Amino acid sequence: MSKQEEKGKPFYITTPIYYPNANLHMGHEYTTTLCDIFARYHRLKGEEVYFLTGADENTEKVVRAAKDANINTKDYLDETVSGFKSLFKMLGISYDQFIRTSDEEKHWPGVIEMWNRLVAAGDLEKREYKGLYCVGHEAFLTEKDLVNGVCPDHGEAPQELTEENYFFKLSKYSSEIKQKIETDEIRIIPQSRKNEILALLERGLEDISFSRSADKVSVGVPVPGDLSQRIYVWGDALTNYISALGFGTKNGDLYNKFWPADLHVVGKDILRFHAAIWPAMLLSAKLPLPKAILVHGLITSGGQKMSKSLGNVIDPLMLIDEYGHEAVRYYLARYVSPFEDSDLTLERFKAVYNADLANGLGNLVSRIMKMAEVNNIKALERDIELFKKTNLYEQIDSYFVEFKVNEAVDSLWSLIKRADNDIQTLEPFKTIKVDRKKAEVDIKVFLAYLIEISIKLRPFMPITAGKIEKLIKENKSPEAPLFVRKD
């Protein structure tokens, strides 16, 4: 029996856990907002949703960032995580849990249980690991961390160092995972990313180092039964998706209800971890696999990756400050593709804001509500009843099934456009003077339009949707424009 049939449709969605070694950027903001839209949508449809986000805290990056900021690691983490949470609050992110991998009570038991299961499967084995060790960092670096072969922070070439640590037999699972992705037992969206991971699996995965010598890393979960080693990032970070649900603890209610995940949302840079390493761990541990992984692209600016040196970084907080968080949610939902790289510039943001929100939605709401209020014409009771129902969502289900959140918003704005055009054609503000009966019918139709728009707007712009609903129920025009035009 599937999870759905057993429990009556729960929906479990996750963001990746974010590194608290810097503030969140637009990419994180997009991932989280996208998840929030899915979470709200499924809740509105009456499903029981669990939405998980969190922070990946057991990393030397964090230790270093704390050192640079001259505070102890724990205080540093608490401060950064509270910054994440306040950004999410501003954006209206309706997560159910924020998991922190430094949480020894919540997270570590799941990691230990996962490790023990991999051991039981015979999939962890001590071998020789060769890595690039930076003395200044007191940590292993990867080729990607180096600039011209030198550690950019310490100006020194790392030493090639050999240590014994535990390897996970990832190679063993290449063909099984390949088959599960080919048959969509794990759906990878979009197709281009599915092809990419299938090509990787076709070449075969290599076994990977799964622990580090405890004398070289200062954070992380100790390997059960071998305190000379700590569990490296994969076993620790990826396991958050089940540890957060109580896996490995006595309280497995959430785990039993919500695992396997319906949707992991990830950026394309972490596709391999989620579509190869994570399923292999789950197979080895004899646990169910996630149903789908949505892989979104980067947000570029002016056609280039955002970077300090190019000076094209757009700060999420600055955008929220200038335009309000609902406008930011709107832009991300409609103009960032869930599948491909998308561009964002301040000029484009402003143009979209003025055209779609100030002149579009905001203006439509003002016009219709003004006609209704001034002429004392109320929405039909049967239309107002729609606020309590969920059948309107059926009209946008097909977009959500295909993960095309942006097209769902497109469809909503065609409705806004149609309403605008109909007002131009019917001119009820003129007819009212000569044929009140006809104008009354027309205005009620426009109020019905607004009702439909505000209901469908809920997953994307919950606050705006609520404001429109309130205006309709009170039959009032907004005192101030919903979106003030920016010059």
- Please count the residues of this chain forming the interface with Zn ion, following the rule CB under 5 A: 6
What long-range pairs does 410-413 form, CB within 8 A, spacing at least 24? 410/334, 412/453, 412/456, 412/457, 412/460, 413/334, 413/356, 413/360, 413/361
Helix, coil or strand: residue 139:
strand
Task: Name the one range near Zn ion by CB under 5 A: 147-155, 187-195, 209-217, 436-444.
Answer: 147-155
How distant, in Å, are the alpha carbons of 325, 331, 416, 419, 477 from that of 480?
17, 22, 20, 21, 9
Report if residue 145 touches Zn ion, rule: CB under 5 A: no
Task: Name the one range near Zn ion by CB under 5 A: 127-135, 261-269, 285-293, 316-324.
Answer: 127-135
- One DSSP character per residue, 76-132 reads HHHHHHHHHHHHHHHTT---SEEEETT-TTTTHHHHHHHHHHHHHTT-EEEEEEEEE
Considering the complex, what minimum distance in angstroms separates the CB of residue 153 from Zn ion?
A: 4
Contact code string over 429-448 relative to Zn ion, x by CB under 5 A? --------------------
Report if residue 152 touches Zn ion, rule: CB under 5 A: no
Report if residue 154 touches Zn ion, rule: CB under 5 A: yes
Report if residue 334 touches Zn ion, rule: CB under 5 A: no
Which of 49, 63, 111, 151 binds Zn ion (CB under 5 A)? It is: 151
Which of 78, 103, 153, 341 binds Zn ion (CB under 5 A)? It is: 153
Considering the complex, what minimum distance in angstroms separates the CB of residue 135 from Zn ion?
A: 8
Considering the complex, what minimum distance in angstroms separates the CB of residue 151 from Zn ion?
A: 3
Task: Name the one range near Zn ion by CB under 5 A: 92-100, 145-153, 172-180, 298-306.
Answer: 145-153
- Residues numbered 445-464 forming contacts with Zn ion, rule: CB under 5 A: none
Considering the complex, what minimum distance in angstroms separates the CB of residue 136 from Zn ion?
A: 4
Which of 52, 134, 237, 361 binds Zn ion (CB under 5 A)? It is: 134
Kindly report the CA angle at 110 between 106 and 115, in degrees rounded to 5? 145
CB nearer Zn ion, residue 133 or residue 335: 133
Please state the φ and ψ torsions of residue 95, each to the nearest 5 degrees. -70, 155
Report if residue 89 touches Zn ion, rule: CB under 5 A: no
Q: Which residues of 85-94 are buried (b: 16+ CB within 10 A; e: fewer)?
A: eebbeebbbb
Half-sphere exposure of 201 (CA within 13 A, CB side): 26
Rounded CA gap, 368 and 442, in Å? Answer: 10
Considering the complex, what minimum distance in angstroms separates the CB of residue 231 from Zn ion?
A: 23
What long-range pairs does 192-199 form, CB within 8 A, spacing at least 24? 192/339, 193/268, 193/271, 193/275, 193/295, 196/271, 197/271, 197/272, 197/275, 197/276
- Residues numbered 270-309 forming contacts with Zn ion, rule: CB under 5 A: none
CB nearer Zn ion, residue 137 or residue 169: 137
199, 166 Cβ separation under 8 angstroms: no
Considering the complex, what minimum distance in angstroms separates the CB of residue 309 from Zn ion?
A: 20
Considering the complex, what minimum distance in angstroms separates the CB of residue 146 from Zn ion?
A: 9
Which of 137, 230, 325, 404 binds Zn ion (CB under 5 A)? It is: 137
Considering the complex, what minimum distance in angstroms separates the CB of residue 159 from Zn ion?
A: 11
Considering the complex, what minimum distance in angstroms separates the CB of residue 134 from Zn ion?
A: 3
Rounded CA gap, 354 and 409, in Å? Answer: 17
Instruction: Name the residues that contact Zn ion, by CB under 5 A.
Output: 134, 136-137, 151, 153-154
